[in-house]
Structure 1
Amino acid sequence: MRKLGETVAAKQRTFRWVLTARASEIEHWRRIVSEALVGWGADPPAVELARLGVSELLSNVIKHVDSKRCCLTVTANGAEAIVRVYDRLPAPPVIGEPAWDAESGRGLWMLRAMAPRFGYEAGRPRKGKCIWFACELSRYERGSRT
């Protein structure tokens, strides 16, 4: 069986999945998004950032949102990919610098620091929000690694 990245991703510019966020399935979604980025020619740092971001955003749905139904999208947009998770909690994400000894609360803070672009958009009144981040598909010119 051929992987997503070897078949459709090179031609398709957006992938969208409606899912129920479950801890046991986060690795599955990390792999699926990774395959899309690889199909678009992403370099390893972009793939790793996407994997980290998917983990964080889906984990936040599991931890903070009553309804675990959400929508995960990844879109190739020029030289970058945009990963979005839409959930049903209208409250904006809380992102603050965590205490050095905090056991949680670092994920979005780290993702915001690592991604070239990061943000959230409010949904229709009381209808949830979208948290998103960008990955540069390639930090290097093809053929040179300076």
Structure 2
Amino acid sequence: MTVTTHESEDDTCAWGLTAHPRTIERWRNKAAAAVAAQGGDRSAVDLARLAASELLSNVVKHVADPRCRLVVECGGGFARLQVLDRSTAVPAIRVPDWDAESGRGLWLLHSTAADWGYVCFPGGKSVWIRFPLTGGREEAAT
């Protein structure tokens, strides 16, 4: 995954990148670290990892141009993680086939996040989830 840009403010981190399966773990860790740095508890950090993995995996699987942007914003007691890509195809949440090897990611995010959605714009879309920084498991994020 090639990093094309990186921005960081007190409550926002953003990376322009090229999605690739071999380095999704790197971006999962960066998203988790950004949430932890803003006081996210273990539950929030884990959800940031899951969201980054799922949303970037969807870029790899469903978007012809893998260049995208990962953004983590924190404020008001919530974290918002979004991926902006170059496809106008909207995400679809389906009840998963529990015997299948894939197809549960968006459903899982939908069922665990406080809110989620997408916004289409000319030439692409943003898919995002929002979740509390604290209130999940009691232990602090490390």
- Please give the range of the TM-score, normalised by the shorter of the 2 chains: 0.7 to 0.9
Deviation at 1:115, TM superposition (A): 0.6
Correspondences of 1:2-81 after superposition (within 5 Å): 12-81=10-79
Which 4+ residue blocks in structure 1 deviate beyond 6 angstroms?
none
Gaps of 5+ in 2: 1-7
User: Which residue pairs with 2:125 in the alignment?
Assistant: 129
More strand by share: 2
Gaps of 5+ in 1: 1-8
Deviations 1:19-56 (A, max 9, x none): 00011111111111111111111100000001001000
Query: % of aligned pairs identical?
Result: 45
Deviations 1:81-135 (A, max 9, x none): 10000011101012111223233211101111011111111112xx111100012
**TM-score, normalising length: structure 2:** 0.86
**What is the Cα-based RMSD across aligned positions, in Å?**
1.6
User: Which residue pairs with 2:91 in the alignment?
Assistant: 93
Which amino acid in the other structure matches residue 136 of structure 1? Answer: P
User: Which residue pairs with 1:4 in the alignment?
Assistant: none
* The structure with more radius of gyration: 1
**Secondary structure at the counterpart of residue 35 of structure 2:** helix
Which amino acid in the other structure matches residue 45 of structure 1? Answer: S
User: Which residue pairs with 2:3 in the alignment?
Assistant: none
Q: Distance in 1 between matches of 2:96 and 2:40?
A: 31
Which amino acid in the other structure matches residue 106 of structure 1? Answer: R
**Secondary structure at the counterpart of residue 32 of structure 2:** helix
Q: Distance in 2 between matches of 1:76 and 1:90?
A: 26
**TM-score, normalising length: structure 1:** 0.84
Provide the aligned length of Structure 1 versus Structure 2.
130
Q: Distance in 1 between matches of 2:90 and 2:61?
A: 14
User: Which residue pairs with 1:3 in the alignment?
Assistant: none
The reply to whether residue 105 of structure 1 matches residue 98 of structure 2 is no
User: Which residue pairs with 1:120 in the alignment?
Assistant: 118
